[in-house]
Amino acid sequence: MKLLLKNATIIPVTEREGALRTFVGSVGIVGNRIVLVTTDAAEAEHFAEGGCRTIDCTGKVLMPGLINTHCHAAMTLQRNRADDIPLMAWLNDHIWPFEAKQTAEDIQLGMTLGMAEMVLGGITSFVDMYFEEDRCVETVEQMGMRAVLGCSYFDATIDQTLASAERAIEAARGKERIHISIAPHAPYTVSRENLIRGKRFAEEHGLPLMVHTAETQDEVKYVREKYDRTPVEFLDEAGLLDENTIAAHCVWVDEKDIATLAARGVTVSHNVHSNMKISSGAAPIDALMKGGATVTLGTDGSSSNNDLDLWEEMRTAAFLQKLTTMNPLTLHADDALRMATRNGARAMGYKEGELGVVAEGALADLILIDIEKPHLQPVADLVSDLVYCGKAADVETVIIDGRVVVENRRIAGLDLKTLYKEVGEAVARIESTR
């Protein structure tokens, strides 16, 4: 299977820092890899010889697919269920009763709806954290997305979750796009012993780990009182922090915590809309970047965002840092785009140059954007244009692992009307049995 993306305006995102370059060229894909990136039209023609699907990308922007490093995709079922109310009422009266009635099939349905939203918005990879992930391996495989599925546990559920993780590992065997991960919920909901047990399980099976870290002031207070440490110090002492760990949120981290996160090679998942909406706080992203930490972007779940839109996360991440530092030079558009692509690839466990860039040898996870829209014209700076004005709906075509998953804003093989109907019925059933 050969695919040529011809005459695109390419943002390769291959630069580690500074301004991102753009150029007009063509990209050749064989199987699931990019094998050619060229500005030479003759070379592109030569590639296409002997049978090759060609997409004319004239006037379109071609860039790496976006990578969402923290979400709870199945919670899409609970979107807008209980907004603008206090946290404990939200959990006690809405989220927990709903989840108690949810079946694995409901979770698959929520996952499918969440993936449909993500892929239509140019997200090609996501890192999930929820229950019944073993039951969702096939769901993700069918959608054609790339994912790290994090089996999440509290103290009470660690045994069943590790058993489910074993099943998930089996289910994902041979599925190159899907990886399994261990996901202890947080330092304030999982004991030190069970955090360590999860980490050992992850190491034994060669899996990454993810954990909510320093999300709220309450968490910092709890961990300080119980362990006399910050959440980052506590997790570090327990041996959870290394290059195989994603620490989600990191809102309340001090200078020493930042140095630790950077030194251990932990990936930070910044979830700016969620942190704002549920009043968690403003993460010190500028300081984390300057301190050498790898920062990526996540949407969090649909109950606290309320959508799965990385364009908005890029924009607001940049804008909020400019506000909290009171310096408009902080967090350039280029940085935001790097966070949402190549940095995200590192969080997913991919090596430099393997994902999140448009480069020969990289996996073919790519998106095409139509910039002939009033809100994207004129184009003075293409990266600023996309990061500060681009929208999920501007994504026209999505290629994952060399396969065209979205074309002209239609998802291959998915009937959305039927999906909405099934989602509506599932929600109605859950509500009626409360």
Q: Binding residues for its own copies, per CB under 8 A?
A: 77-87, 113, 116-117, 120-121, 273, 275-279, 281-282, 305-309, 312, 315-316, 318-320, 322-323, 325-329, 332-333, 372, 374-375, 377-381, 384-385, 388-389, 391-393, 416-417, 419-420, 423-424, 427
Torsion of CA 394, 396, 398, 404, to 10 degrees: 170
Q: Which is nearer to its own copies, 166 or 407 (CB)?
A: 407
| Residue 295 phi, psi dihedral angles, 5° rounding | -105, 135
**Would you say 260 or 397 has its CB closer to its own copies?**
397
Transcribe 398-418 into DSSP letters.
Answer: EEETTEEEEETTEETT--HHH
Instruction: Report, in Å, the least distance between residue 307 CB and its own copies.
Output: 4
Determine the length of the chain: 434
The β-bridge relationship of strands 2-10 and 53-56 is: parallel
Q: CB of residue 358 vs its own copies: minimum separation in angstroms?
A: 21
Report the distance separating Cα 9 and Cα 358, nearest Å.
Answer: 12
Q: Looking at beta carbons only, is 157 or 324 nearer to its own copies? A: 324
Work out how close the CB of 36 gets to its own copies at its nearest, in angstroms, rounded to a whole number.
30
Among residues 154 and 319, whose Cβ is nearest to its own copies?
A: 319
DSSP β-ladder status, 395-400 and 403-407: antiparallel
Q: CA-based angle 331:337:339, to the nearest 5? A: 75
**If we measure between CA atoms, which residue out of 254, 171, 158 comes closest to residue 202?**
158
User: Tokens representing 159?
Assistant: 């045994």
Rounded distance between C-alpha atoms, residue 172 and residue 207, angstroms: 12
C-beta of residue 73 within 8 angstroms of C-beta of residue 118: yes
User: CB of residue 379 vs its own copies: minimum separation in angstroms?
Assistant: 7
How far apart are CB 80 and its own copies at their closest, in Å?
4
Report the distance separating Cα 223 and Cα 217, nearest Å. Answer: 10
Q: How far is the CB of 371 from its own copies (least distance, A)?
A: 10
Longest dimension (CA), the chain: 68
Nearer to its own copies, 47 or 252 (CB): 252
Nearest-angstrom CA–CA distance, 85 and 108: 27
Our CB check for its own copies shows the closer of 163 and 323 to be 323
E strands in 106-187: 123-130, 146-153, 178-184
Burial class of residue 128 (count of CB atoms within 10 Å of its CB; 0-12, 13-18, 19+): buried
Contact 350, 356 (CB under 8 A): yes
* Nearest approach, Cβ of residue 65 and its own copies (Å): 17
Residue 181 or 280 having the CB closest to its own copies: 280
CB closer to its own copies out of 254 and 307 = 307
Please, what is the minimum distance in Å from the beta carbon of residue 237 to its own copies?
Answer: 29
Tell me whether residue 4 or residue 426 sits nearer to its own copies (CB atom): 426
Q: Residue 183's beta-bridge partner residues?
A: 152
CA 120 to CA 394: how far, in whole Å?
Answer: 9
For the CB of residue 218, give the shortest distance to its own copies in the complex, in Å.
Answer: 11
The whole-angstrom separation of Cα 80 and Cα 121 is 19
Question: Which residue, 401, 412, 405, is CA-closest to 1?
Answer: 401
Nearer to its own copies, 72 or 315 (CB): 315
Nearest distance, CB of residue 375 and its own copies, angstroms? 5
